[in-house]
């Protein structure tokens, strides 16, 4: 492969973030659908799958090792191989009598590997691209990250649903699905091996100044207005952090239980077709408009775009429409808004991470982002069982207001991310 091709972000950004997103969606979202179909109740699903967020919360504790030892490229390639083996372990554990405990153990290994892969991949992205490139490719990056998530919720779930129908055995279906995913991760690891350039070994690359653990953490928390920034990061997805845990159970639960009674294949098809188109458009448009106008103009519209569509889940719960068309329409609107709104969030995290040892600082910022997903997600199942689906979705809408309110108080350059004129 020529040097020009290897150094073209269009070649390495998509597969790198596809490989970063697939493990995350499997661990955090697809595991919810899998355990639901294997007979685990909503409260246990919400609690134990949310605890899998913990490695993303505490990853700043070992992020300096990624900065100080080895190249980020080597780190993410090794972690991707570990992920492949971990998903194989999940697949082999499901047919056993202790499947819940054993599969969670393998998911825990995968969680730590995935969090480390995120540190290395994101640090690689920050080092390989200039600021204006980062803002332009944030749309492509977010899109393929979300494509991975929708692929997990869509294609993988469709495949599992097909096997459920074929074999009449949910355990066998999900075991085979996880083995297939393990093989896919192995293939993607080799793709990244051959598409990512060795920028950290080039003559033009100067490695960041090595900082001690103490200096890394102190320098992050000494940033200007860091307290309000961290509160904003924690609250940006407060509503969605709960919605994402209960959306699939809502679609799968029977109508008598307040759900929509869809099949596993239906849920996968909706997210894997209509959702992926809407998501891609939203992410690409989000990156383009930030690159054109800067983050300041779009922060408020984007956080609204991410949260407002959640109200439509309440309408689904209230009316319980028979037609899958209305479910698909809600997913399209929600995914379009999510792709658009998440671009602003990721660009803001990059801004907060600027400065020395930005890889570790980005890990700290995304650690707080994960904390904002983990804690609300842990109690989401209990809240849903207490309020029912209608009350739960109203609560999800209300939970979005604090983050929207804080947009008026966070500070960043109005034209941050705007492409500079030549």
- On average, the pLDDT of the chain sits at 86
Q: What is the mean pLDDT of residues 361-366?
A: 83
pLDDT at 212: 60
Contacts of 97 (CB under 8 A, 6+ apart): none
Distance CA 317, CA 389 (A): 6
Distance CA 315, CA 327 (A): 10
The predicted-structure confidence for 11-46, as pLDDT tens digits, reads as follows 788 889 999 999 998 998 899 999 999 988 888 888
Distance CA 152, CA 27 (A): 10
pLDDT at 266: 87
Q: What sections of 60-130 are H helices per DSSP?
A: 63-68, 72-93, 99-128
pLDDT at 3: 43
On whether the CB atoms of residues 419 and 288 are closer than 8 A, the answer is no
- Could you say which DSSP state residue 365 is in? H
The predicted-structure confidence for 311-339, as pLDDT tens digits, reads as follows 999 999 999 998 889 998 998 898 899 88
Say if residue 132's pLDDT is above 70. no
pLDDT at 272: 65
Does the pTM surpass 0.75? The reply is no
Distance CA 254, CA 386 (A): 17
Domains with residue ranges and CATH for the chain = 3-197+221-406 (1.20.1250.20)
Q: What is the mean pLDDT of residues 148-165?
A: 86
pLDDT at 5: 42
pLDDT at 403: 93
Say if residue 4's pLDDT is above 90. no
The predicted-structure confidence for 170-218, as pLDDT tens digits, reads as follows 999 999 999 999 999 999 999 998 888 887 754 444 444 445 667 777 8
Which of 195-199, 206-210, 354-358, 369-373 is modeled with the greatest confidence?
369-373
The predicted-structure confidence for 44-77, as pLDDT tens digits, reads as follows 888 898 899 889 888 877 777 777 777 888 899 9
pLDDT at 213: 62
Distance CA 349, CA 230 (A): 10
416: left (phi over 0), alpha (psi -120 to 50) or beta: beta
On whether the CB atoms of residues 253 and 259 are closer than 8 A, the answer is yes
């Amino acid at each position: 492969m020529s040097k020009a091709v290897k150094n073209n972000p269009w070649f390495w950004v998509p597969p790198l973030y596809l490989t970063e997103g697939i493990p995350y969606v499997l661990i955090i979202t697809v595991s919810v659908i899998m355990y639901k179909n294997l007979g685990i109740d909503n409260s246990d699903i919400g609690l134990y799958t949310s605890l899998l967020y913990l490695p993303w919360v505490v990853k700043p504790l070992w992020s300096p090792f990624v900065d100080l030892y080895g190249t980020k490229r080597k780190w993410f390639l090794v972690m991707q191989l570990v992920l492949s083996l971990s998903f194989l372990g999940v697949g082999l554990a499901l047919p056993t009598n202790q499947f819940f405990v054993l599969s969670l153990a393998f998911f825990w290994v995968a969680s730590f590997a995935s969090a480390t892969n995120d540190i290395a991949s994101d640090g690689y992205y920050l080092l390989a691209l200039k600021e204006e490139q980062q803002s332009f490719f944030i749309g492509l990056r977010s899109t393929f990250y979300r494509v991975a998530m929708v692929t997990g919720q869509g294609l993988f779930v469709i495949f599992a649903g097909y096997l459920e129908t074929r074999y009449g055995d949910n355990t066998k279906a999900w075991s085979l699905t996880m083995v297939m995913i393990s093989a896919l991760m192995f293939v993607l690891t080799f793709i990244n091996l051959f598409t990512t350039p060795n920028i950290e070994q080039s003559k033009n690359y100067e490695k960041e100044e090595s900082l001690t653990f103490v200096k890394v953490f102190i320098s992050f928390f000494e940033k200007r207005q860091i307290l309000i920034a961290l509160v904003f990061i924690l609250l940006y997805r407060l509503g969605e952090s709960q919605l994402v845990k209960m959306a699939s159970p809502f679609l799968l639960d029977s109508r008598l239980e307040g759900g929509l009674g869809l099949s596993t294949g239906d849920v996968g098809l909706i997210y894997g077709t209509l959702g992926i188109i809407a998501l891609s458009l939203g992410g690409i448009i989000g990156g383009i408009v930030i690159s054109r106008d800067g983050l300041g103009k779009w922060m408020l519209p984007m956080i609204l775009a991410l949260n407002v569509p959640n109200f439509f889940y309440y309408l689904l719960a209230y009316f319980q429409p028979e037609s899958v068309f209305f479910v698909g329409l809600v997913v399209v609107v929600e995914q379009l808004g999510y792709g658009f709104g998440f671009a602003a969030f990721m660009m803001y995290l990059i801004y907060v991470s600027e400065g020395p040892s930005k890889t570790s600082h980005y890990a700290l910022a995304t650690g707080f982002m994960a904390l904002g997903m983990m804690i609300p997600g842990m109690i989401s199942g209990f809240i849903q069982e207490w309020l029912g689906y209608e009350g739960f979705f109203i609560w999800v809408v209300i939970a979005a207001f604090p983050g929207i309110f804080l947009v008026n108080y966070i500070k960043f350059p109005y034209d941050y991310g705007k492409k500079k004129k030549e």
